[in-house]
């Protein structure tokens, strides 16, 4: 699954308008993002299995807070 360089470049330019990213940089960012999503997904499924329940947004919130100290409001 490859979105190409445009999302990576767009994200970088939101951070710094003068930044640029070559093809290798875009590929590296895509690999890091893919690994992050896979890791989070596996942890969420593991947590839901432990609770003997379906996966929920609360599982995502718990994993992101505990493992990465990231907080998001649930609306």
Task: Inform me whether the pLDDT recorded for 1 exceeds 90.
Answer: no
The whole-model pTM stands at 0.70
7-68 fold: Histone, subunit A (1.10.20)
Confidence (pLDDT) at 21: 74
Q: How far apart are CA 7 and CA 49, in angstroms?
A: 33
Q: Taking Cα atoms as reference points, which of 27, 20, 39 lies closest to residue 1?
A: 27
Q: Tell me: the pLDDT tens digits for 28-45?
A: 888 888 899 999 999 999
Q: Looking at residue 69, what DSSP letter applies?
A: -
Instruction: Choose between 30 and 65: higher pLDDT.
Output: 65
Residue with token string 């990465």: 68
């Amino acid at each position: 699954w490859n979105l190409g360089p445009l999302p990576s470049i767009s994200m970088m330019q939101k951070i710094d308008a003068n930044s640029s990213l070559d093809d290798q940089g875009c590929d590296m960012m895509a690999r890091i993002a893919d690994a992050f999503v896979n890791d989070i997904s596996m942890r969420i499924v593991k947590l839901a299995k432990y609770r003997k329940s379906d996966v929920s947004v609360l599982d995502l919130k718990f994993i992101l807070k505990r493992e990465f100290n990231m907080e998001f409001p649930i609306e």
